[in-house]
Amino acid sequence: MGTKPGMVPPPPGEESQTVILPPGWQSYLSPQGRRYYVNTTTNETTWERPSSSPGIPASPGSHRSSLPPTVNGYHASGTPAHPPETAHMSVRKSTGDSQNLGSSSPSKKQSKENTITINCVTFPHPDTMPEQQLLKPTEWSYCDYFWADKKDPQGNGTVAGFELLLQKQLKGKQMQKEMSEFIRERIKIEEDYAKNLAKLSQNSLASQEEGSLGEAWAQVKKSLADEAEVHLKFSAKLHSEVEKPLMNFRENFKKDMKKCDHHIADLRKQLASRYASVEKARKALTERQRDLEMKTQQLEIKLSNKTEEDIKKARRKSTQAGDDLMRCVDLYNQAQSKWFEEMVTTTLELERLEVERVEMIRQHLCQYTQLRHETDMFNQSTVEPVDQLLRKVDPAKDRELWVREHKTGNIRPVDMEI
């Protein structure tokens, strides 16, 4: 991710004569003024000047120090890592060091990027870290699976992972509202049903039926009025114990979600701004190093005090640009760390709210089924008197009662005498 430092000859006092390097090797100066060498073919890097014989260091007995470690593609000292195509420098390993690999030789750097940046967010490269440690490895938690952006299925853009979580939450709130509307429709059906039952119970059809059958028939009509009352009570309880809680739950949910959205979005914007500063600082460093390289080339053509002063000034500017890059990288890492912390906290809160929502809906639907069972029991109780009277219907008794009331005489006629 870093930029390539400029190639310069050794400063006065460091090497007394023009550097003669083996084929494929080039000499560079770090912004701090220290020389190192890069094999452009193998991307191997060493602080020591390579000899013309392959694999043999120029000073076998000399001490080689490690290059600075890299963090997010940058040296910890603020120097950007080597060119974008190599990112982390490979270290030249000589045959002479084969017995002392664990001593003071520079640490190996992988030739591939160990991080990738997507929409200003730095992630571990899958090739270097295929199985990153999960925060909640035993759960499918929101805090582990919504860091990257996802391509919008309805367009060519992308949707941030956090936005997907917000959409899930808002969709859940909408589903909750629709469930409440569903229960409201159920209540309306109950109310209409109760009204129709009450109206039917007042119907005068067949009201003149007499005897035990007449009593049973009257009880059938009365049971309708009782059943109507049961359904009215059921609808009232549905309203107070199911519909209203569903509708009122998380009343300010959308407002709270907007606060979370704006907070995370602001942190993401800050992250993007810091990333832009890193890119700007990297570009500035490249320009300073190119200027230093140009001044150095001028020195090779013509030696003069003025040219040497220009080189010193260019080196100072290059060093300052390296320091600026280090500062920008540090600010970027701080912004990303803050964004990471807030993402974890907020996603866990969204997860908690989702669990709360599901549990709340489950409880109220259980209340619905309980009320439904109670309604069935009450309905059954309204027809029990009807069952009892129907078992007592006796056609003989009904006939006796009717005869007693309507008889006209009990003497049979006799024949007339002549």
Flag whether 311 is in a domain.
Answer: yes
Flag whether 384 is in a domain.
Answer: yes
pLDDT in tens, 20-33: 788 878 776 655 56
**Has residue 367 got a pLDDT over 70?**
yes
Q: Which residue has the tokens 């109780």?
A: 381
Flag whether 365 is in a domain.
Answer: yes
Q: What is the mean pLDDT of residues 10-28?
A: 59
**Has residue 395 got a pLDDT over 70?**
yes
Flag whether 296 is in a domain.
Answer: yes
Flag whether 340 is in a domain.
Answer: yes
Range of the domain at 180: 161-398
Yes or no: say if 6 and 292 are a contact pair by the CB < 8 Å rule: yes
Flag whether 345 is in a domain.
Answer: yes
Of 32 and 398, the structure prediction assigns the larger pLDDT to 398
Question: Count of domains in the chain?
Answer: 1
Q: What is the mean pLDDT of residues 387-413?
A: 92
| pLDDT the model gives residue 52 | 61
| pLDDT the model gives residue 89 | 30
Flag whether 72 is in a domain.
Answer: no
Flag whether 341 is in a domain.
Answer: yes
pLDDT in tens, 153-199: 777 788 889 999 999 998 998 999 999 999 999 999 999 999 999 99
CATH number for the domain harbouring residue 248: 1.20.1270.60
pLDDT in tens, 216-262: 999 999 999 999 999 999 999 999 999 999 988 777 777 888 888 89
